[in-house]
Amino acid sequence: MALFGGRAGNSGGNAGAARISRHSSGWAQMQKHLRAKESLRLLDIGPTSAGNINFITNLGHSIYMANLVEDAARHEYQITPTEGPDAGKVTYDIPRFLKDNLDFSGRVFDVVTLWDTADYLPESLVAPVVDRLYEVMEPGGQLLAFFHSKISGDDTAFSRYHLTSTDQLELQPIGNHPILHTYTARQVETLFKRFASNKFFLAKDTLREVIVIR
């Protein structure tokens, strides 16, 4: 299970890549929420860093991590039928994936930073993952997610999001995971249909930002 409490996981690859600073209205609002509350539980989805852990714990919160994109790339979750109409087509053992990577032993979370994870996950895993996150969030909890508007080109490299005390995030390319699909605003709303509300933020680049309330 790629889950840690107060410890950084091994994210591998491109650790020395240059960071790119990016304005994020979604992170600015989420940071205000984190500074206004005490003793929150935060679930960070994706490759993290010791700096991020220190940032969150210094605000008085606890942090847990799950790097779902790297987990989904592991062959143990892939099923490839050899017979029938789906012969040769890769599918996923969704129940096992959720149990291994999103079972938090009864913990529930006040904040989830999903970042752009959904764009890099196999499509069959996205909705089950979002549903599972709904189940492990406190009512009124907040989730921050980003969605790319294009599948290739600039600003589409799989990246670690480094937190800062400003409205800037620092993106650091890590690994070679490609974007597998993109979502329109309407599709994002459908993806989070079980949640109470959502707020989109305008951006000047190719990332769409949204905060979703449980």
Q: Which two tokens stand for residue 50?
A: 């010791």
Question: What type of residue is 3?
Answer: L
Cα 35 to chain centroid distance, Å, stands at: 21
pLDDT digits (tens, 9 = 90+) for 51-78: 999 999 999 999 999 999 999 999 899 9
pLDDT digits (tens, 9 = 90+) for 142-191: 999 999 999 988 789 999 999 999 999 999 999 889 999 999 999 999 99
Domain 4-213 maps to which CATH number in 1.10.3720.10, 3.40.50.10300, 1.10.760.10, 3.40.50.150?
A: 3.40.50.150
Q: What is the mean pLDDT of residues 122-151?
A: 97
Query: Does an H or E element contain 66, and which?
Result: strand 62-66
Provide the whole-model pTM: 0.90
Domain chopping of the chain, boundaries: 4-213
Cα 155 to chain centroid distance, Å, stands at: 16
